[in-house]
Structure formats: C-alpha cells, structure tokens
Amino acid sequence: MEELRRIAMASYQASSSRLRNLGHDFFASMDHDGNGKIDQREFLEFMKEAGHVKMSNMFFFNQLDLNEDGHLDFDEVMMVYYIIQSGRPFCDRCNRFVTSTYLTCVTCLEDPTACPYYLCLDCYAHARLDHLHDNSSQFVDNYSLLEYLTKSKLCELRSRPNAPLAIQGSPNSGYNQPHPVQTRPWKTALDLLNIGVYAGFMSTTFCTIL
C-alpha cells in the first residue's frame, strides 16, 4: 500500500490544477466535520452513499490507514481517489482490495455483456475452480494483459494505411525493428502463448500482421 500511496501522490502532484482541486473536493466531501481528517464513520458513510460498496468496510479503511493513527489524512484519501479513478480492482471472491498482482477471467473479459471477474493471488491459488465457464476457467494476470493490449494497439496502428514512421518504432521505444516486423513485436506474446497463459484469448484475436 505504501507504493500505492506514492503513486497516488505522484499522480496528484503531476495533474492539472483542476484535477488537484477535484481531489481536494473529494476529501472535503468526505470530511463532514471539517477537521482535516477522516474518521471511520465519515469514511464508511461516504463510501456507502457514493455507491462504492466494496470500499465501505473497516478492512479497507485499515488498509488505507498506513500510519495506523485511526483516521485518514489527505495522502491516504488520495489513495482512494486514485483507486477509484484508475479502476484498481477488488477481488470478486474475498472482496478485498488487491494490492499487488491480480488475475482476470478471460471468458468474462471477452463477453461484452459480462462484468470483469477478478481474483487476488491468494484466491487464484486456492480457488480458481470456483469460477467456471463450461467446466473450465482461464485467467490472465494483469501484467500479461497489459502487455497484450499494448501490442494489440501497436499492431492496430501499424496496420493502418500510411502509418507514420514514428509508430513503427523509435530507437528507445522498446519496439524498434532491427528484424522484420513479423518477428519482433509479437515474440513475447507468442512466448506467452506457448506456455499457455492465455492461449484462448490470444488465438481469437490475433493480428493479421502476423
């Protein structure tokens, strides 16, 4: 959670004055008595009224209360603000906020009518068979998914007619092409495919550039 606090505050510092003001408004709307800190009652009431049901519990409050002084200060509330804005998930099995790697159900992800289904590592390790589609399940971790989506977007841009040279790779982009385009950007994805991390997901959405 300390890493999350640092990310949240770095995002706050780097954002426009308008967004920073929204952050202060967010804090003020939670701070009913205006004493500059958020107690448990204020936090739980706000989360419930705002419809953030999974956040309205003491376990999450205590996760946020990094210095364990019994209330939330501005930095700690900015973590909540960041979590809401960035869509960081809660585990759909244990309902706890996921502080590190998480897994997403591939079948639910591909179904536009379904909500994403997330598991924390503990739940994935012990209970992934609880969530089944046709007696099976397939999950992808957030790092692999991000890598896949990044490459998909790059692939889409490259396949456009008259794509500018810049998106075909720059010297420091990590997608530079000393080899033909067919063999470079998808190597990682193919490696993942080979170890079966998300074979089904990949096979249905392969880019024609391959």
Residues binding Zn ion (CB under 5 A): 91, 93-94, 105, 107-108, 117, 120, 123
Q: In angstroms, give the least distance from the CB of 93 to Zn ion.
A: 5
Helix/strand/coil (H, E, C) string of 1-69?
CHHHHHHHHHHHHHCCHHHHHHHHHHHHHHCCCCCCCECHHHHHHHHHHCCCHHHCCHHHHHHHCCCCC
Q: In angstroms, give the least distance from the CB of 146 to Zn ion.
A: 19
Q: In angstroms, give the least distance from the CB of 4 to Zn ion.
A: 17
Q: In angstroms, give the least distance from the CB of 56 to Zn ion.
A: 18
Comparing CB distances to Zn ion, the nearer of 24 and 88 is 88
Q: In angstroms, give the least distance from the CB of 110 to Zn ion.
A: 9
Comparing CB distances to Zn ion, the nearer of 138 and 185 is 138
Comparing CB distances to Zn ion, the nearer of 12 and 117 is 117
Residue 91 CA to residue 47 CA, distance in Å, equals 17
Comparing CB distances to Zn ion, the nearer of 107 and 144 is 107
Residue 24 CA to residue 78 CA, distance in Å, equals 9
Q: Torsion over CA of 87, 79, 82 and 156, rounded to 10 degrees?
A: -60
Residue from 118, 126, 127 nearest 100 by CA: 118
Comparing CB distances to Zn ion, the nearer of 91 and 192 is 91
